Amino acid sequence: MEKHPFTCSISQLAKALDITTRTIRFYEEKGLITPDRTPGNQRIYTRKNRARLKLILRGKRFGFSLDEIAEMIGMADTDLTEIDQIQKSLVFGDKKLEQIRQRRQELDLLEEEILATRQTLITRIEQLKEKE
Amino acid sequence: MEKHPFTCSISQLAKALDITTRTIRFYEEKGLITPDRTPGNQRIYTRKNRARLKLILRGKRFGFSLDEIAEMIGMADTDLTEIDQIQKSLVFGDKKLEQIRQRRQELDLLEEEILATRQTLITRIEQLKEKE
DNA sequence: TAAATAGTTAACGTTTACGTAAGTTGTAAG
DNA sequence: CTTACAACTTACGTAAACGTTAACTATTTA
């Protein structure tokens, strides 16, 4: 196996994901990512770190707090030797899936609501144009 | 038309939506809802107010800030006489629809990710059970 | 090798979204 | 009428999620 060479610095990663370096370091403080270091103590990020960060940002866009995201990630990082631990993670993951499905329904409602408003507006515009 | 009698007090509304009265008053401060008052200056909420509040909470669950939600509501409250204003609202609504569709895609990704992790865990459990 | 650029930690500042407490007024029950 | 409870306003407090600045070190570039 290779030691895939797709690494980058903190500022490169920040630019790629359109966030600040402060944000990345903050997530590290919270234990959400743990990049390797160069001999000079500078952070280096792999594709894996990058994927992890994207997952974090995605979670945030759905209103999950960093603590909740930390939990989800905890699941992803499960030590695959302890069978009890694995089963707990499964239960946790299923709970999250439940939540996600609920969110999807709410997303539909939100869309409906906006579409309805849209229709009202369009109808109104047509009425106004006829009156001219 | 009736003056539909489906009104309630702030604490009733809070209980119904499982939030605190403080939260409701806070949203009012921010201009997100403007209930009528009794002669004694107490807030009364109609079905419409209630629907509005639900919309706010739904938006929050998708990581929209209160300011963003205020914008969305601004669209819903458009003064239907100014044709320019209506058209602006339409454009704004379409932007929000774009965002919502993006969120849906991300939701799918999130679900995939969890399902993949789930599969890994299940496979691992089976392996461990065979070894017994 | 020197200068410019980028990265590091530490610590204090800021914004958002409420929580909480104090003191006052409305309203329903006895 | 008064007791009790709910609602009102005002204001200070707080946790989360970063922003900003300072003082220092590593790395790249001339």
Same domain? B38 vs B83:
no
Structural domain range at position A13: 1-62
- Residue B41 CB in 7 A reach of strand D: yes
Say if B73 falls within a structural domain: no
When divided into structural domains, chain A yields a total of 2
Q: Which residue is nearest to nucleotide C19 (CA to C1')?
A: B22
CB A82 within 8 A of CB B127: no
Q: What pLDDT does B5 receive? A: 62
Minimal C-alpha gap between B83 and chain A (Å) = 6
Q: What is the CATH number of the domain that holds A6?
A: 1.10.1660.10
Q: Under DSSP, is residue A93 helix (H, G, I), strand (E, B) or coil?
A: helix
pLDDT in tens, A72-104: 888 888 888 889 889 988 998 898 899 889 889
Same domain? B85 vs B56:
no
Average pLDDT estimate for A34-48: 97
Spatial neighbors of A130 by CB under 8 A, at least 6 apart, are none
Say if B6 falls within a structural domain: yes
Confidence of residue A35 (pLDDT cuts 50, 70, 90): very high
Say if B41 falls within a structural domain: yes
Gap between the Cα atoms of B73 and B85, Å rounded: 14
Q: What pLDDT does A3 receive? A: 41
Same domain? B15 vs B48:
yes
Measured in degrees and rounded to the nearest 5, phi and psi for residue B62 equal -105, 20
Protein CB footprint (7 Å) on chain D nucleotides: 6-10, 16-20, 25-27
Q: Do A93 and B61 touch (CB under 8 A)?
A: no
Last residue of a domain, one of A16, A32, A62: A62
Counting as low any pLDDT under 70, the low residues of chain B are 1-5
Gap between the Cα atoms of A91 and A78, Å rounded: 13
Say if A69 falls within a structural domain: no
